[in-house]
Amino acid sequence: MERYPGAKPLYAQAMDDMKSRITKEEWVSGHRIPGEKELCELYRVSRTCIRQAISALRVEGYLYSIQGKGTYVSNVTPNAGWARLTTFESHYRQKWSSIGARTLKMERALVPDTAADFLGVARGSMVLSLTRVRLLDARPVLLQRHYLSPRVPARVFEEHPEFISFSRLLEEHAGLVAASAKDLVKAVPCPKADAEILRIKPRSPVLYIERYARDREGKPVEYAEVTVCTDSWHYEVTIHASGGVDGGTQI
């Protein structure tokens, strides 16, 4: 594997190559991928890098592991995952001519109590918060409110105000990767203020997601509240007999 110092981390370069082998069907559904030792030799990286790459691909739904047997290519095409929003852009770039995002507000905001407990800050604290809307062909489809860990520096967003991918920005400029997330999903009537932003009728049915995202060490990265237009999206989960679960969304 060609290395590109100063570009993506080595684990991300290995991950991209493995993902390419899957999407090009060099590694087909059900295929057992090479073991860690072989992958280390193939990509000339450490076991830590390989484990990070495999972990990220499991989160995105490309791979699943069976204890004592190995890691396999999933038998479904991964959908855009909630936990890694970079997949929003990469997955839907083929379907829409324009994918966009706007940051509506960046401020120090009162953290919700549930988020305070998760982020490890005192209730009633003020934390860095971003309100953003995601667009497909200029149409707003997701409204996101991020409440960030104190580890996330505000300068990242100040220096890159026109960013599209939230998670990619955190990875490339703050060294933080949301490797896993717990989502609480429910259907609710859309509040009037959110409906105005999403250009839908007040009290239209929407999906409301609370996301608790952690990095690879299990440390909190963000708590987010996401409102999703249900005429465009549904939430999909595939459960493998091995115990693996692929979660995602589909338009």
pLDDT of 80 = 43
CA distance 82 to 181: 8
- Which residue ranges does the chain devote to CATH 3.40.1410.10? 86-250
**pLDDT higher for 191 or 102?**
191
Nearest to 18 by CA among 80, 102, 74: 74
Say if residues 96 and 140 touch (Cβ distance below 8 Å): no
CA distance 11 to 59: 15
- Which residue ranges does the chain devote to CATH 1.10.10.10? 10-73
Q: What is the mean pLDDT of residues 110-121?
A: 93
Question: Would the pLDDT of 240 be above 60?
Answer: no
pLDDT of 246 = 53
pLDDT of 82 = 40
Say if residues 176 and 190 touch (Cβ distance below 8 Å): no
pLDDT in tens, 180-228: 888 899 999 999 999 999 999 999 999 999 999 998 788 899 999 999 9
The domain 86-250: what is its CATH number? 3.40.1410.10
pLDDT of 101 = 81
CA distance 51 to 234: 31
What's the mean pLDDT when you consider all of the chain? 81
Q: What percentage of the chain has pLDDT greater than the value 70? A: 78
Interacting residues of 107 by C-beta distance below 8 A, sequence separation 6+: 128, 129
Name the 3-class secondary structure at 180.
Answer: strand
Residue 12, H or E segment: helix 10-23
Give residue 7's pLDDT band: very low, low, confident or very high (50, 70, 90).
low
pLDDT in tens, 13-42: 999 999 888 888 888 877 899 999 999 999
Residue 107, H or E segment: strand 99-110
pLDDT of 190 = 95
Question: Would the pLDDT of 77 be above 80?
Answer: no
**CA 175 vs CA 70, 161, 236: distances in Å:** 29, 18, 29
Does pTM surpass 0.75? Answer: no
Packed helices 10-23 and 47-60: angle between N→C axes, nearest 10 degrees: 50
Give CA angle at 53 (50, 57), nearest 5°: 140
The domain 10-73: what is its CATH number? 1.10.10.10
